[in-house]
Amino acid sequence: MLKLVSWNVNGLRACLKKGFQEAFDGLDADIFCLQETKLQPGQVTLELPGYEQYWNSAEKKGYSGTAVFTRLHPLSVRYGMDIDAHDHEGRLITLELENFYFVCCYTPNSQDGLRRIDYRMEWEDDLRAYLMGLDRVKPVVYCGDLNVAHEEIDLKNPKTNRGNAGFSDQEREKMTLLLHSGFTDTFRYLYPELTGAYSWWSYRFHARENNAGWRIDYFIVSDRLVPEVGDSKIHADLFGSDHCPVELELNL
């Protein structure tokens, strides 16, 4: 059984002061990946015995960034998707493992008023093509903060949020297209009717204590990996960020 965990830490330096190490140790994952590290190389040193560490930082300081910590030695590691327009913000790390590709992603936010929606659509199309290319070689585990609540069941207030960043028709359609391209949302596959399951809450309006959240953090797998899915979990009881960790158990 492989245990995989993804967490948008919304600034790793801040999260380190809010119980990151305890959460990391308690989850005891084989692969643990982060989004929104907001770090430049050398700004933190993590002592994680038994794990190899891979970091992809944005060129802009204090912004974006991803990391992967793995007990499994990768055959190769790739940063970005070799498209210049997308590879300056530290948003993607791909590990090639023996049986699958592991892709950690921090999807660009479309921003207030959908200011960045055109760029987001380019990212979605290029990323989908990238994942499909990997999938032709070996199956894919794609995870991270994907910055979209796919269906109305995936956020507390769908009516008032329709058209907002993260719940625009355009973003939702791109997720549908991905899932029709040979991939499965593991949590919804296992729990198709489960309501109130969220991974992000605004810091405003007591959103977390009222569980007025959004499910925007995912583990998505190639369809042929679905029979190997043991469980897909949302650790809403773990604090330290405005997101909580999400987990996938794979029988590999």
pLDDT tens profile 133-148? 999 999 999 999 999 9
Count the neighbouring beta carbons within 10 Å of the beta carbon of residue 58.
20
The whole-number average pLDDT for the span 36-42 is 96
Q: What's the confidence (pLDDT) of residue 51?
A: 98
- Give catalytic residues, as residue numbers: 106, 145
pLDDT band at 153 (very low <50, low <70, confident <90, very high): very high
Q: Tens digits of per-residue pLDDT, 167-177?
A: 999 999 999 99
The whole-number average pLDDT for the span 61-75 is 98
The pLDDT > 70 percentage for the chain reads: 100
Q: What's the confidence (pLDDT) of residue 83?
A: 98
Distance CA 220, CA 144 (A): 9
Per this entry, what is the length of the chain? 252
Q: What's the confidence (pLDDT) of residue 79?
A: 98
Q: Tens digits of per-residue pLDDT, 195-239?
A: 999 999 999 999 999 999 999 999 999 999 999 999 999 999 999
Which tokens go with 88? Answer: 């300056």
Give the rounded distance of the alpha carbon of 200 from its chain centre.
11
Distance CA 157, CA 55 (A): 35
